[in-house]
Amino acid sequence: MNRIGEGYDIHRLRPGGPLRLGCTDILADIEAVGHSDGDALAHAVCDALLGAVGGGDIGQHFPPGDPRWAGADSKVFLAEAVRIVAEAGYELVNVDTTIGLETPKLAPHRDAIRVAMAAALGCDVANVSVKAKTGEGIGPIGERQAVEARAVVLLRKVG
Ligand code: MG
């Protein structure tokens, strides 16, 4: 039997850098504001994994007010989500994602993000898809106020 899960996240941007996205440091003149490392893509994938097994959401497992998670590397959150999925008797089939970011262009970083996310998830790179959109100059994405990410995962029952 299969299960699907959906996840979404958004983080405010401020001048600085690098931009942490998909367990990757991207050279940029902006950075994400967040209690942890502000990795919107990793957080969206976490929520998708948790959602697929009815396992709550990332804020439940890693409360944003908890000092333990201040500046935390989101790889820790992904590893825990994968552990919860395995504990429920499932494994990842594939994950498809879309990032909303005005600049910098993500195309040159897409493969590095896929590799880093696959490593964090313990899966094959072929099973991790990363797509990117700009905000067409309008709204919080287009006006460079925020970065957002969406993710859908498919799981299959082990055994
Ligand atoms: Mg987040």
pLDDT at position 73, please? Answer: 94
Residue range 48-89, pLDDT digits in tens: 999 999 999 999 999 988 998 898 999 999 999 999 999 999
Q: Which three-class secondary structure state does DSSP give residue 1?
A: coil
Q: What is the pTM of this model?
A: 0.97
pLDDT at position 105, please? Answer: 96
pLDDT at position 64, please? Answer: 85
Q: With bands split at pLDDT 50, 70 and 90, how would you rate the model's confidence at 159?
A: confident
> 40 alpha carbon to ligand 1 midpoint, in Å?
5
> 97 alpha carbon to ligand 1 midpoint, in Å?
15
pLDDT at position 40, please? Answer: 98
Chosen CATH of 2-157 out of 3.40.30.10, 3.40.640.10, 3.40.430.10, 3.30.1330.50: 3.30.1330.50
Residue range 99-156, pLDDT digits in tens: 999 999 999 999 999 999 999 999 999 999 999 999 999 999 999 999 999 999 999 9
Number of H helices, E strands in the chain: 5, 7
> 60 alpha carbon to ligand 1 midpoint, in Å?
12
CB-based contact 32:38 (threshold 8 Å): yes
Mean pLDDT of 26-55: 97
What residues form DSSP beta bridges with 133? Answer: 100
> 57 alpha carbon to ligand 1 midpoint, in Å?
11
> 94 alpha carbon to ligand 1 midpoint, in Å?
21
CB-based contact 99:106 (threshold 8 Å): yes
> 110 alpha carbon to ligand 1 midpoint, in Å?
20
**H/E segment holding residue 120:** helix 110-121
> 14 alpha carbon to ligand 1 midpoint, in Å?
15
> 17 alpha carbon to ligand 1 midpoint, in Å?
17
> 12 alpha carbon to ligand 1 midpoint, in Å?
10
> 159 alpha carbon to ligand 1 midpoint, in Å?
33
Q: Indicate the pairing of strand 90-100 with strand 128-133.
A: parallel
